[in-house]
A and B are shown apart, each in its own frame.
Chain A
Amino acid sequence: QKEVEQDPGPLSVPEGAIVSLNCTYSNSAFQYFMWYRQYSRKGPELLMYTYSSGNKEDGRFTAQVDKSSKYISLFIRDSQPSDSATYLCAMSGDTPLVFGKGTRLSVIA
């Protein structure tokens, strides 16, 4: 079993839809959870950072961490075509970040 599992998609949704992106993990030592957004041919951009379990909201983005289930989610409300990108989950404990493979999202106008 890989340390971090993420469905690569592609995921295609209409503009305005609520998008749900998820990752599961196996290492119970992970405490720091991040979501990065990567546009084509660009470096990843940090979107959300969460420590331990709980929810965090920033504008249209909400990150959720459920450590008991080893499951993290990123929700995007009122999705826009500009949200079309690859979204990578990442997590760490006392080790370098471990990334998911990324989910390709397309928001269709």
Chain B
Amino acid sequence: GAVVSQHPSRVICKSGTSVKIECRSLDFQATTMFWYRQFPKQSLMLMATSNEGSKATYEQGVEKDKFLINHASLTLSTLTVTSAHPEDSSFYICSAQGSGRETQYFGPGTRLLVL
């Protein structure tokens, strides 16, 4: 099956700092990657969709200047949370989709805690 990795799995940072999360598709080329956010006992909330080599498309209410997404290659997308604040603490999950595929394969998630 398709494997998607995320790094780091957990990060604790001080308020005001920036945090970068990497998402990699290990055994297939991901033409599209998605970034989700999940609060405890809540469902996944789509933040943005990114296609390789293009600017990301952000969902309504998601600040594109705060959540910077880069999808520079067919196997790597990054999410940078800039000037993080405690309310940004959450579980961030990426998923990847290859061309011609309708399914998404998820990474294991990154737990962010902003102090």
Contacts and interface: CB of A to CB of B under 8 A. Distances in A.
Contact of B6 (A43, A46, A96, A97): A43
A34 B103 contact: yes
Interface in B53-105: 91, 93, 95, 102-105
B111 A92 contact: no
Nearest to A90: B104
Interface stretch (A11-19, A69-77, A98-106): A98-106
Given A96-B46, A100-B43, A101-B43, A42 B102 contact: no
A21 interface: no
Interface in B40-55: 41-44, 46, 49
A36 interface: yes
Interface residues of B, number: 22
Contacts of A101: 42-43
Interface in A81-108: 88, 90, 92, 96-97, 99-102, 104
Contacts, number: 45
Given A44-B44, A99-B43, A51 B93 contact: no
Interface in A4-60: 32, 34, 36, 41-46, 49, 51
Contacts of A100: 43
Interface residues of A, number: 21
A97 B46 CA distance: 9
B93 A44 contact: yes
Given A96-B34, A96-B49, A45 B106 contact: yes
Contacts of B106: 36, 43-46
Interface of B: 1, 4, 6, 34, 41-44, 46, 49, 91, 93, 95, 102-109, 111
Interface of A: 32, 34, 36, 41-46, 49, 51, 88, 90, 92, 96-97, 99-102, 104
